[in-house]
Amino acid sequence: MQPQTSFLSLIEEDLRRDSMFLDEHKQQRVDVLIDVLSNPNAALNQIRCLGFKGIPNVPTLRAILWKILLNYFPLSPDKWSE
């Protein structure tokens, strides 16, 4: 399974479980963050700006974003398994 596919499926699983706790604004932020992470040309600055405004409490998404922000994961999900 591709890393990008697996992280998206994990986030979707979290969203199905926790969607009742997200208001419309937080759901929109989650959607934007997923779009940015799915983009192979994502910029770290863009992720930092979005993270600065707060990362919604979706466990898998938060974990991945923090690892990217702390330079533990590279920006490209394709390189996460290396």
Residue-wise pLDDT tens digits, 5-25: 576 777 777 777 666 666 787
Predicted confidence band at 82 (pLDDT cuts at 50, 70, 90)? low
Q: Is 71 left (phi over 0), alpha (psi -120 to 50) or beta?
A: left
Whole-prediction pTM:
0.71
CA angle at 13 for the pair 41 and 8, rounded to the nearest 5°:
15
Hunting for tokens 């600055």 — which residue is that? 45
Over the stretch 27-59, which tens digit does the pLDDT of each residue have?
788 888 888 888 777 788 888 888 888 888 888
**DSSP-H helix ranges across the chain:** 3-18, 24-38, 44-52, 59-69
Count of alpha carbons within 13 angstroms of residue 51, beta-carbon side: 18
Examine the pLDDT at 67 and tell me if it is beyond 50. Answer: yes
